[in-house]
Chain A
Amino acid sequence: MVRSKTPLFLLAVLLAPALVGLVVFRLYPIALAVSDSFFNMLRGNQVFVGLDNYVALFTDSAFWKSLQVTLWFNLLINPIQIALALGLALLYVQKFKGVAFYRVLFLIPIGVSLPTAVIIWRIMLSPDGLANGVLNIAGVPGQPWLTSESLALYSIIAIATWKGISYWMIFIIGGLQNISPEIYDAARVDGIKPWQRLVFITVPLLRPTLLFVLVADVSINFLLFAPIFMLTQGGPADSTNVLMYEAFKSGFIFGDMGRAMAIIVVVVVILLLIVGLQFRLLAGKPEGK
């Protein structure tokens, strides 16, 4: 660090806008969610009710169903997205004539924002849409992608995955470029097969990057909202009613902000638990150190 005295006034000017922004618009809202969750706020009320909102939540089968949907959704989508993003990143970093063209195409879904992707996919998955048209070639009958209780959640997984994996691919590319090529050269000399190279060299060395991606991916998918709002509104039969949508419904459709905030608190707590667990499980020191 610089030996000369830190100019405090300058430091304050430089830091204040970002810090005020992060405190007022990130940390304070979380504190507010916690405090509001102790109030009954129906019909403009503001009566302190202690843990009543939480008690009501945990004795409500709709909440449990929503929690179950959210956890199942995340259990599927995060490993799928990361495995595909890793595969795509491995393709992206290959070097051969003409690869630059594909690289550009691999990046395209990043530019398509999620709400836009949702609209395009909604029409693709409509009864007369492209998806059923392609199935038709193979003689498979059309599927009710978004209106069937058994398919809707998986359709949303497909849409979010199409949209998301290029983004995660970028982070993994960063990790891949950080692995020294000499390690691979040594492996080649030792006659190690490509799949062994992936399992025993690439993945272990990528662990910090994969951990970062997993944590960030989980936190985004845990809070996924736009596709649910735009496609299914939690239906059919609550099969896509994730916690974020349940919170939105409570607060902005039924006007019960206390319940909505209690759900948000539960969501944030679960999220922090999952993130903490991931660090515990995966952040161990890499082998040989």
Chain B
Amino acid sequence: MADPALKLRRGFTLGARHLAYAVIAFIFVLPLWWAIVSSLRPNTEVFADIFPFTVNALLPSPLSFEAYTGVFERGFGLIIANTMFVAIVTMIGGMIVNGAAGFAFAVFDFKGKKIILTLIIISFMLPFEAIALPLYTVTLQLGWLDHVAALIVPSIANGLAVFLFYQFFSQVPKDYLEAARLEGVSWFNILLRIYVPLSIPTCISAGLLLFVFQWEAFLWPLLAMPSQQFKVIQVGMAAFQQQYQTIWNQLFAVSVITALIPIALLLPLQRYYVQGLAGAGIKG
């Protein structure tokens, strides 16, 4: 360890590593960084410093908040609130509905369990987009077209979330459960007192999954809300892009707000998100 040559070489490889990682991370973050910087410029300055390119293009100069005040004057706050509402209701509903199903699959043995589980796995292998067009017809039949229920209800039951809960609850030692049953504890209390507290990490990862899913949804809100009475962010943003093509800084401001909300949620909770998804990948 005291060998200075070795120390130097270690320092060098560490430096080389940092450099390589920084370059990759830079490429990863560049689009979002440029969006943030450009959203903080006046509209006339968005493309300044790009031809010829100078480093100034990646710095917010001159600093201006006109884009942000502009988008909120356009009613963008309501669109964000709408989207939050849809995502949060889906998230909470999804935790309950998919968690209950996951619990039932993990704890009870019943006829047809294998077949139903297989169907659930198939249903999450077919992404929402595959069924969006026929789902439009279903929504029409239910009379939910242009109603916010159409955005929420079909998204609550989620095969992947059921699978996450099922996988987690299967790992809970059965001794707990048998001991509790022998003592005469009711199923409801077992669920509430043992399984719910244990499942908080799984709830977080499934909840994030459902939240992000709604935050990403595009084709479905486009079809389900033809009149756009209840605007959600993605479709609202696409419309915004078409109507206000040249107000670049506002387009950027909208993108930045839309990106930062899920990022703010994911960063502190990333451990759960990574664990949840990674776990699904191993067993898949």
Contacts and interface: CB of A to CB of B under 8 A. Distances in A.
Contacts of A173: 274, 278
Interface in A142-158: none
B184 to A, nearest CB: 11
A19 B267 CA distance: 32
Interface in B237-284: 237-238, 241, 248, 251-252, 254-255, 258-260, 262-263, 265-267, 270, 273-274, 277-282, 284
Contacts of A29: 131, 134-135, 137-138
Nearest to B136: A251
Interface stretch (A53-61, A64-72, A224-232): A224-232
B82 to A, nearest CB: 15
A14 B103 contact: yes
Contact of A115 (B96, B108, B234, B266): B234
A186 interface: no
B133 interface: yes
A129 B47 contact: yes
Range class of the A interface residue count: 35 or more
A255 interface: no
A264 B277 contact: no
Contacts of A166: 28
Contacts of B230: none
B119 interface: yes
Interface string B155-171: 01101001000000000
A3 B178 contact: yes
B52 interface: yes
Contact of A271 (B22, B130, B138, B157): B130
Interface of A is mostly: helix
B134 A170 contact: no
A220 B51 CA distance: 37
Given A1-B109, A96-B14, A133-B50, A18 B162 contact: yes
B215 interface: yes
A53 to B, nearest CB: 14
B219 interface: yes
Interface string B225-238: 00000000110011
B190 to A, nearest CB: 10
B100 to A, nearest CB: 4
A219 B138 contact: no
Contacts of B277: 167, 170-171, 174
A121 interface: yes
Nearest to B251: A119
Nearest to B48: A128
A133 B31 contact: no
Interface string A22-37: 1011111110110010
Contacts of B265: 111
Contacts of A108: 28-29, 32, 263
B193 interface: no
28 contacts: A2-B109, A4-B181, A17-B100, A18-B100, A18-B120, A22-B119, A22-B120, A22-B159, A25-B131, A26-B131, A27-B119, A29-B134, A30-B134, A33-B133, A102-B24, A105-B28, A106-B28, A107-B266, A108-B29, A111-B266, A113-B215, A119-B251, A122-B241, A130-B34, A170-B281, A264-B130, A264-B134, A275-B125
Given A30-B131, A33-B133, A268-B130, 9 more contacts: A2-B174, A14-B100, A21-B153, A27-B119, A106-B24, A108-B32, A115-B258, A120-B255, A162-B31
